Amino acid sequence: MTDINTQKITGLLFQSMVVEGALAIAEKKEQANELNVFPVPDGDTGTNMSMTMGAAKDEMQRLSEPSLAKAADATASALLRGARGNSGVILSLLFRGMAKKLREKDEADGRDFALALREGVDTAYKAVMKPAEGTILTVTRVAAQHAVELCQADPTLSVMAVFEAVLERGQTALQETTEQNPVLEKAGVVDAGGFGFLTIFEGMFDAFRGIHKERQIDTAEPQRAAADFGAISDEDITFTYCTEFIAERKDKARNVGRMRALLNEIGDSLVVVEDDDIVKVHVHTDQPNKALEEGLKFGPLLTVKIENMREQHTAKVIEGTVAPAERVIKEPEKKYGFVAVAAGDGLKSVFEDLGCDVVVQGGQTMNPSTEDILRAVDATPAEIVFVFPNNKNIIMAAEQAADLSEAKKVVVVPTKNIPQGISAMLVFDPESEVDANTQTMEEAISGVHAGQVTYAARNSDFDGKKIKEGEYLALCEGKLTANSKRQSEVLKKLAREMVTDESAFATIIYGEGVTEEDAARVEEIFRKENRNLEITVINGGQPVYYYIISVE
């Protein structure tokens, strides 16, 4: 029987360690989720880390007697593609760095293990633009450095001793995150990502010692939104034609607001963008001729696209939307293509109408994986693909997908919400080069004033405010504006926060469970703040957020 104090890490042992680490975080994912400071429902840290490790567990269970190099590389590859949310991406980077060192060995001793962990930390830090203190990065850095220093003092230190050192110093570092991060300090909690990392390493340590615990794991996967085209009848499509055009603005004195009002009368899903040179319009209507006539009043039409949505719906029902199991890369048929992340049939339609090739179902509460985004890029028949994550917790996964796309150039536009994604698509110029378009899009998203109305997923004491589970929350630029049991109260405060005398346009996107009458009342709340405000109301059908609102 092998002495645990002299035991080294082999391929079979590493395989077992990864599986047990995945089971450990799966068991404690809700504890990690509860550490999330802000009480909004989101793609919680624990869930993201558990699903990320789950991808590695599945891969490990397919391997038969792997070498250490094979097990480490397969783990890193599975985590890379399965990474969800920022915490999942950082986790994948840690294991990618570890694999760089472990693949050099047939078996790893304590010093090898400590150096591998430090390599993982270095890899993660290099990938994060502005690493903050009091996060998973802090916990792993402090723990790894402590282990390396111990091995420098005693190069014969066992794997057992390194594990103990990492977990002991890591727990101390985790407790210190409360004082290092002002947001954590106000909430009185430790960092969720750091907690998740140590949970995974505790599971790996159990496997190293030959301990395989009976764990209470909720195996149900989160439900993912997906459009059921077969459940939608033609009667559910209010207007037949998706109409888009760009008109040259020869008559600069002509009032765009009058055109907006007329198009609102003959259609819905209206989006109008203007500058000194052009007017760009998107509308669903049964009278595309009238829409084009309004555009011609400004000047010649530069582009026109009219599509029959009833015919498109029929085709969708017939063809289905089952993704292929193997990676299939579509050959380029055009220069530019677009991928966006959004949840809700209405938002999916909005992005498709704006020219998006593939919409990845996801967002808040269901962050898509790197693999999900990569498949969407693969399915886009273009040389250059712009990706709009539309959520700050999806940006890093999108960037990893960009790195994995060998056949196509991928540009991730760092959109943090749906209004930013819409604005970025609206300013795209097919005649401009990729760098110019990227700059224009980034400038456009910087000018978007965005707000959301959602609900509190848990009780919280946040930023001096006591928040109760189930309360309505109004967010402006990601910060809490109001919380109340009355939705109208938080909407009024949000309107006062977002709308000024200089505001010209607003878009209100209402989610699932919200009626047209409800949305009309919200429209009136915002109009009271500025009677000259041009307001567009869109049925987005998104989960989690009752309303997503932008003001420009």
Structure tokens at 430: 């097919």
Where along the chain do its domains lie?
A: 11-208, 228-320, 325-447, 449-551
Q: Answer whether residue 53 shows pLDDT above 70.
A: yes
Structure tokens at 277: 């040179």
Nearest to 141 by CA among 168, 162, 115, 121: 121
Alpha-carbon span 320 to 230, nearest angstrom = 9
Q: Per-residue pLDDT averaged across 39-67, rounded?
A: 85
Which DSSP state fits 485?
Answer: S
pTM of the model as a whole: 0.73
- The pLDDT of residue 42 is 54
- Which of these CATH numbers, 3.30.470, 3.30.1180, 3.30.1380, 3.30.70, describes 449-551? 3.30.1180
Q: Which strand (E) or helix (H) includes residue 271? A: strand 267-274
The CATH code of domain 325-447 reads 3.40.50.510
Q: Give 452's strand partners.
A: 475, 548
Q: Answer whether residue 466 shows pLDDT above 90.
A: no
Greater confidence (33 vs 365) lies with: 33
Structure tokens at 247: 């008109």
- The pLDDT of residue 519 is 93
- At 138-157, the pLDDT tens digits run 999 999 999 999 999 999 99
Alpha-carbon span 522 to 365, nearest angstrom = 25
Confidence of residue 324 (pLDDT cuts 50, 70, 90): very low
Q: Per-residue pLDDT averaged across 309-318, rounded?
A: 50
User: Quick one: fold of 11-208?
Assistant: 1.25.40
Q: Which strand (E) or helix (H) includes residue 469? A: none
The neighbour count for residue 446, using CB atoms within 10 Å, is 9
User: Quick one: fold of 228-320?
Assistant: Alpha-Beta Plaits (3.30.70)
- At 212-239, the pLDDT tens digits run 877 766 544 443 333 333 444 454 456 7
Q: Per-residue pLDDT averaged across 319-348, rounded?
A: 78
- The pLDDT of residue 285 is 86
Structure tokens at 216: 């209470």
3-state secondary structure 178-234: HHHCHHHHHHCCCCHHHHHHHHHHHHHHHHHCCCCCCCCCCCCCCCCCCCCHHHCCH
The neighbour count for residue 208, using CB atoms within 10 Å, is 20
Confidence of residue 242 (pLDDT cuts 50, 70, 90): confident
Q: Which strand (E) or helix (H) includes residue 454? A: strand 449-455
Alpha-carbon span 507 to 552, nearest angstrom = 9
